[in-house]
Amino acid sequence: MGDRARFERDGDVGVVVIDDPPLNLFGSELSAALVEALGEAEGAGIRALVIRAEGNVFTGGADVNVFDGLTPEAAEDFVAQLLQLAHRVEDLPFPTIACVHGLCLTAGFELSLACDMIWAAESAQFGLVEIVIGATPLMGGTQRVAERAGPARARELVMSGGLYPAETLERWNVINRVLPDDELLQKTMRFAERLAAGPTAANAATKRVVRSVLDEGVRGADARMAEIAMPLFASEDLKGAVRSFLEEGPGNARFEGH
């Protein structure tokens, strides 16, 4: 099972690699392997995570065989499992980046949208193309595109079933960065290393603040600031960084992740 997706480590950066050739299709086995790899990532003490894929495509999308004969009752359980996978990525307490090349469809696109950021190759193409089987995205893709790009863009992307180039989705604020194909992995990893060298607890707090804004609005996030941010003042990273700033000036602090 773990061969279809695996966890690797590069210093404080973890990497979940999708490797289920030829198309990295999302079926029950790949989904289970991803859950296993994410579990390893959670317990590894890493401080940032990159999700990438081997092969010519990030993913050709969902394995349509899964839907053949699927009853509404079985579909309910299936959707719950998919959403649990997306939530697991979103709830990780460190920064996450999807590093996307080639084609990125349906469930793989939705997995990317669960990450904090998406970095994509110039040649990458994205689509939520579930209309080809008469479905709507099941893993939260519609709502996460709406969250990033607004409801009109989400309706267009999903209802058209089209393929969208990375450049367009960067302009829509769905994607953070678009890079030359041959530079994508190196630059994504370099940025992940920068994030991993930062204050881990503060990054986790930032994730919670952003989530609060999206769920509860600006004033709702304001109301949660004490709960979210005040524990940072007990962290060794904040105490040490304040001392470093006062004694050596800005930019010299070293963060240990606690």
pLDDT, average across residues 26-41: 93
d(CA 223, CA 38): 32
Task: State yes or no: pLDDT of 1 exceeds 50.
Answer: no
pLDDT tens-digit map of 188-220: 999 999 999 999 999 999 999 999 999 999 999
Confidence of residue 2 (pLDDT cuts 50, 70, 90): low
> Looking at residue 258, what is its pLDDT?
80
Q: From CA 152, how far away is CA 69, in angstroms rounded?
A: 33
DSSP letter at 165? E
- Residue 79's φ and ψ, nearest 5 degrees, are -65, -40
**Per-residue pLDDT tens over the stretch 218-240:** 999 999 999 999 999 999 999 99
Cα gap 211→213, rounded to integer Å: 5
Q: What is the per-residue pLDDT for 137?
A: 96
Q: Please say whether the beta carbons of 158 and 174 come within 8 A.
A: no
Instruction: Please state the pTM of the whole predicted model.
Output: 0.95
The answer to whether 131 touches 159, Cβ cutoff 8 Å, is yes
Q: How far apart are the first and last CA of the chain?
A: 34
Q: What is the pLDDT of residues 51-102, one digit of tens each?
A: 999 999 999 999 999 888 888 988 888 889 899 999 999 999 999 999 999 9
